[in-house]
A and B are shown apart, each in its own frame.
Chain A
Amino acid sequence: MIGDYSYSEFFSILAMQGFAGLILFSVFVLMALGLAIIFGQMGVINMAHGEFMILGAYVTYLCSVVVTDYVPFLFPVYFFVAMALAFAASFGLGVLVEWALIRHLYRRPLDTLLATWGLSLALQQLYRSVFGAREVGVTLPDWMMGSISLGDAIEIPINGLFVMGLTMIIAAAVYFIMFRSSWGKRVRAVVQNRVMAGAVGINTKQVDRMTFGLGCGIAGIAGSAFTMIGSTGPTAGQLYIVDTFLVVVFGGAGSLIGTIASAFTISQAQSTLEFFLSGSMAKVLTLLTVVGILMLRPQGLFSLNIRR
């Protein structure tokens, strides 16, 4: 016996809590990757990140409605199409926003902060006008709901596994794009020395636009995936934004590895604390810990050593 629990119960706690933590980790990574790319590579703080996620969620909602009405036999697999479209929509909007708004403000970080915040308000009202103020229900194929049971007490949610798988694929893809492709090389060159990169013939403006689009596109995919676990409404993006910033800042701006490490630390701390304390206390302690560590290490867990 350990505390109130028998050994088998204790084992199930460990297993299920382990999975709960991993699922939270995946969720954090998925929502923070897009922001980390934009923040890290371009130094732009995108306050509208949550709204780009919700754009993806609404695209998924539209797909579910269209598929149920017109091609019901495709319903079990519509989610994959929806994710692709969510990426396309958020990518498109991201490129447009970069062209119309962000590129004029590159040397004014505080102004981009304000501008993107304004953008987030505008997008929220746009969603409200188009889709209504109420939350919409996204219907999911049956195979995505439910759980796999391993033994008596251990049950693993399928949507959690789905998010985990998706996160791994996206993270691997981002890694490949950033560190193994020639485009990624150009992005890193621009980050390290914009003037020099321009001098050797890299089209820095185009690199900026694509980077911003990519970050937004990944947010769109995240939003699409989160219709499985959360709500889809005009202001739902706000529910994610604080955690997202926390993960990126704690990880160290500019470091994708840092983002992943910080997502892991925060998610494990939070899910463990949630189990032993109440939800609100867990959040308070997690935030306090993060604040404490950032006081000692203002640059975050990992940081790039670049001469600017």
Chain B
Amino acid sequence: MSFDTRLPSIPLSRRTLLAGAASIAMLSATGAALAQTPATATVNTTGLAVSDTTVKIGILHSVTGTMAISETGSVQAEKLAIEQINASGGILGRKIEVIQEDGGSDWPTFAEKAKKLLVEDRVAAVFGCWTSASRKAVLPVFEQYNGMLYYPTFYEGLEESPNVIYTGQEATQQIIAGIDWVVKEKGAKSFYLLGSDYIWPRTSNKIARKHIEKLGLEVVGEEYYPLGHTQFNSVINKIKLKKPDVIYAIVVGGSNVAFYKQLKAAGIDMTKEKPLLLTISVTEDEVLGIGGENMVGAYAAMKYFQSLKNDNNTAFVSAFKKMWGDKIVIGDVTQAAYLGPWLWKAAVEKAGSFDIDKVRKASPGIELTTAPEGYVKIHENHHLWSKTRIGHARADGQYDVVYETKDFMEPDPFPEGYQ
């Protein structure tokens, strides 16, 4: 049960109405509809929740608890994609019905709800999870009951499950391009690595350090602070004394706000780029809490920024705002979450079936030319080929895209020599 006003029920009820209207329309044209729609027995041989007119999927994110801050955007993006897919005729002639479960920011709850979705509801796909911890918690469930999870967050890599499609970037895609850029364009020689103390920042900094040292450059400091830490004055003093060219920051959650506010208060003006700040953890979503005026001048390396200029993105941003309100911002993960339902649709249509094994087999090589980020393609290892971009933070909370990689970065979840 959710009390969250951020997820108003109005669009849902409107969607139900639309679906109702659509099914009436379909009844009146049954003959025509059946001709296009393959029979349920052929597209669903494993007893999934697929009927002649509908297919059920699950959305599994936290809408309560600490992670609700981050996961709300993903839920919104997935619902938008599903509504658009339904409006354009659904998948194999069937409308998508959403069963939403709340992980409640609690990892065992995630596993329990995943089991419920797979075993009781027999959903054909699940879009969900955000933190690595929640993904690790549901992974055995998906592997045991053979489900399909579309996971949106950029993460540390070192994982490749046949039951997961990773629609965000894994660490090497995000990190290596960013460091190469800052070295080449800004002449950076020394780095100070900083992060919150858990697996993603630690693994990411490990990859960053290896790469920096491979380039023959110097890491002058590397530090971790507990999640939720709110006092960064000591480390800021250390940074001032070490005078690195680049502060490489992977601070997350509420700590982010404290860190950037205190950095500014300590007289480090990031617009002067002395030192320059490069982050992989602050999307437009996080800037909302930090305040654009405290973030201005920082650089972020990720695959998507709301300000990205292309036709797909313009349409995506306006549809997103139409559905969820004008004031909303869209971060990297939100866009990646939006890709999930579309990638699943493409795979189901290629396979001509909802069966999990056939969808899995059909997934590698699936291309999406309508992605807001431009173009993506599923790799054999279930991650996406994607470009990495550098954004320069503006005072209004948005990023200017100042660079993008020429080629699509190959996902490499198990980088050799970087572990």
Contacts and interface: CB of A to CB of B under 8 A. Distances in A.
A149 to B, nearest CB: 6
A240 B230 contact: yes
Contacts of B240: 16, 153, 155
Contacts of B234: 17, 20, 271, 274-275, 279, 282
Interface in B224-241: 224-226, 228-231, 233-235, 237-238, 240-241
B206 to A, nearest CB: 15
Contacts, number: 155
A185 to B, nearest CB: 37
A292 interface: no
Interface of A: 5, 9, 12-13, 16-17, 19-20, 23-24, 27, 125, 128-130, 132-139, 145-147, 149, 153, 155, 157-160, 226, 228-236, 238-240, 270-271, 274-275, 278-280, 282-283
Contacts of B290: 137, 231
9 nearest A-B pairs in the assembled complex, by CB-CB distance: A135-B289, A231-B257, A279-B225, A133-B68, A20-B233, A157-B265, A274-B234, A147-B267, A155-B267
A128 B64 contact: yes
A17 to B, nearest CB: 6
B300 to A, nearest CB: 17
A160 B230 contact: no
Interface in B215-258: 222-226, 228-231, 233-235, 237-238, 240-241, 254-258
B291 A138 contact: yes
Which among A17, A132, A160, A231 has the highest number of chain B CB atoms within 10 Å?
Answer: A231
Nearest to B269: A146
20 contacts: A5-B241, A9-B241, A12-B241, A132-B5, A133-B69, A136-B288, A137-B292, A145-B294, A147-B266, A153-B240, A158-B265, A160-B233, A230-B230, A231-B230, A231-B254, A233-B289, A239-B228, A275-B238, A278-B224, A279-B225
Contacts of A19: 233
Contacts of A149: 267
A147 B265 contact: yes
Given A130-B5, A135-B254, A282-B234, 13 more contacts: A17-B234, A27-B231, A128-B3, A134-B72, A135-B69, A229-B231, A231-B255, A231-B289, A238-B228, A239-B229, A278-B224, A279-B226, A280-B226
Contacts of B235: 274, 279
B237 A283 contact: no
A122 to B, nearest CB: 10
- Place the interface of chain B in its size category: 35 or more
Contacts of A280: 197, 224-226
B264 A146 contact: yes
Contacts of A274: 234-235
A48 B234 CA distance: 29
Contact of A239 (B230, B237, B262, B289): B230
B66 interface: yes
A275 B258 CA distance: 18
A231 B256 contact: yes
B285 interface: yes
Contacts of B285: 134
Interface of B: 3-6, 63-66, 68-69, 72, 197, 222-226, 228-231, 233-235, 237-238, 240-241, 254-258, 261-262, 264-267, 285, 288-294
Contacts of A240: 230
Nearest to A147: B267
Contacts of B256: 231
A135 B3 contact: no
Contacts of B293: 139, 145
A64 B58 CA distance: 40
Contacts of B262: 157, 229
A145 B264 contact: yes
A271 to B, nearest CB: 5
A54 to B, nearest CB: 11
A231 B267 CA distance: 19
B4 A128 contact: yes
Nearest to A144: B265
Contact of A229 (B68, B197, B258, B292): B258
Contacts of B72: 132-134
A296 B304 CA distance: 55
A138 to B, nearest CB: 7
Given A133-B63, A230-B230, A239 B264 contact: no
Contacts of B257: 135, 230-232
A217 B74 CA distance: 37
A19 B285 CA distance: 32
B197 to A, nearest CB: 5
A147 B261 CA distance: 12
Contact of A17 (B237, B288, B292): B237
Contacts of A236: 254
Contacts of B258: 229-231
B289 A24 contact: no
A135 B228 contact: no
Contacts of A234: 68
* Among A130, A229, A234, residue most surrounded by chain B Cβ atoms (within 10 Å): A229
Contacts of A232: 257, 289
Contacts of A129: 3-5
A15 to B, nearest CB: 10
A41 B308 CA distance: 58
A149 B237 CA distance: 13
B231 A24 contact: yes
A45 to B, nearest CB: 21
A228 B3 contact: no
A146 B267 contact: yes
Contact of A136 (B3, B228, B289): B289
B230 to A, nearest CB: 5
Contacts of B6: 132-134
Given A24-B231, A134-B288, A279-B226, A146 B69 contact: no
